[in-house]
Amino acid sequence: MTTTASVDLLIAAVNAQIRRVGPGLYGVACSGGADSLALADVAIRAAGAAHVVVLSIDHGLTPAGAGASAAVAAWARERGAAAVVRRVEVPRRGSLEAAARTVRYAALEALADELGLVCVLVGHTARDQAETVLLRLLRGTGPAGLAAIPVQRGRFIRPFLAIDRAVIDAYVRAQALPIWDDPMNDDRRLARVRVREEILPALRRENPQLDAALVRLASSATEWLEVIDTLTRPFTRFPVDCAALATQPAAVRKRAVSIALEVAGLDYDAAHLDQIDRMILAPERGQISIDVRGGAIVRSYGVLSIAPRDFPPQPQPLDIPGAAEGYELRTWRAGDRMRPERLKGRSRKLSDLYIDAKVPRALRTTARVLVRTSDATIVWAEHLGAAFGEACSCQSPTRSGGKF
């Protein structure tokens, strides 16, 4: 590809995305590496320097990182664009690469809000996509994971995702861009570096078109996801009706649960999805649950919901008109009995009444009753309401009459 052709290809890729999001101020995430500096340069050409802000995140992981971010900012200002450098702290636990990515995107989100950016352009290329697909295959993934890096997620857009890295490198050389080589890109302790330098070269000897094949696989998985995600929409927020979800194919059920878990901020793996799917399909038998990282998934009376393990349900404040004296408000106890309105005066154990009313076990544990102290009669029970013939009415801010 000629230099002119590569310039035209890159500008067309950026123009296609900024036309789609509309006019405004465009951010470009730039570390100073070849792909991100090329993206910043092309964005300035395509949108005009006055419409571009170059954003450089200093992770503080290498001694040269601060200098590289400062150099990026100076280069952008020389081109007439605005530039911002933001220093972040990366937690030194778990995967360093994953932790750096999390804090980087959080910082970019914050800068986009502060500066009123319509989008943030990110410099991933087809090589990054191929590496990500292969990494996920090695670690184990389902069809959704094979979609790998999306062209757009929220305000982050990747114009170069379908473009071969060789085109980027040719552009950098032709424009003599002052790129910075991050030493972490050569750190073989990182799985991505080992895949790039050891595994991919070996596989390319078997299939010289491997990168293109992996990128096509990601594209096909993305097309699959678009169809599946449309079908999952009624089921992607907890609580979920198990009977309704059980009528869907397995692919829809598991994808819906994975999205619901992600929305709830809970971590999971494929084994969790299999367990939860069996729970959805199981016959009704009271309450069952499984633990996931950060909480528990509970099926109670045909409803799938989330019960954070570390935060038991907190009782709602109650308004008890006319019951300030002569009454005691307490948590119900084993053996408590009540004469509910629906039984017209017949007494029954509260535990049975809660089961009949399908009150989830998590709510039962903190349920309260109002007891008349003169005769120890329960005149009202939370989630059930007033007893037969009693005029007492308790209300919480979220429920009327205390009924579940």
Top pLDDT among 73 and 321 is at 73
Non-local (6+) Cβ contacts of 64 within 8 A are 180, 183
Question: What is the C-alpha radius of gyration for the chain, rounded to an integer number of angstroms?
Answer: 29
Band of residue 400 on the pLDDT scale cut at 50, 70, 90:
very low
* pLDDT of res. 398: 42
Separation between Cα atoms, residue 394 and residue 386, nearest integer Å: 8
Nearest-5° angle of CA 225, CA 273, CA 239?
A: 85
CA–centroid distance for 361 within its chain:
28
Give yes or no for residue 226 having a pLDDT over 60: yes
Non-local (6+) Cβ contacts of 278 within 8 A are none
DSSP string, 102-159: HHHHHHHHHHHHHHT-SEEE----HHHHHHHHHHHHHH---HHHHT-S-SEETTEE-T
Separation between Cα atoms, residue 229 and residue 213, nearest integer Å: 24
What digits encode the pLDDT tens for the residues 228-240?
A: 999 999 999 999 9
This prediction has a pTM of 0.71
* pLDDT of res. 61: 77
CATH of domain 3-215: 3.40.50.620
Alpha helices, DSSP H, located in 49-95: 65-78
Which of these, 124, 111, 58, lies nearest to 82 by C-alpha position?
111
According to DSSP, the residues that pair with 307 across neighbouring strands are 296
* pLDDT of res. 143: 86
* pLDDT of res. 320: 56
So where are the chain's domains?
A: 3-215, 236-307, 314-404
What digits encode the pLDDT tens for the residues 136-161?
A: 999 888 888 999 999 999 999 999 99
Give yes or no for residue 49 having a pLDDT over 60: yes
* pLDDT of res. 126: 95
DSSP string, 187-253: -TTSHHHHIIIIIHHHHHHH-TTHHHHHHHHHHHHHHHHHHHHHHHGGGSSSSEEHHHHHTS-HHHH
What digits encode the pLDDT tens for the residues 161-199?
A: 999 999 999 999 999 999 888 777 788 888 889 999 999
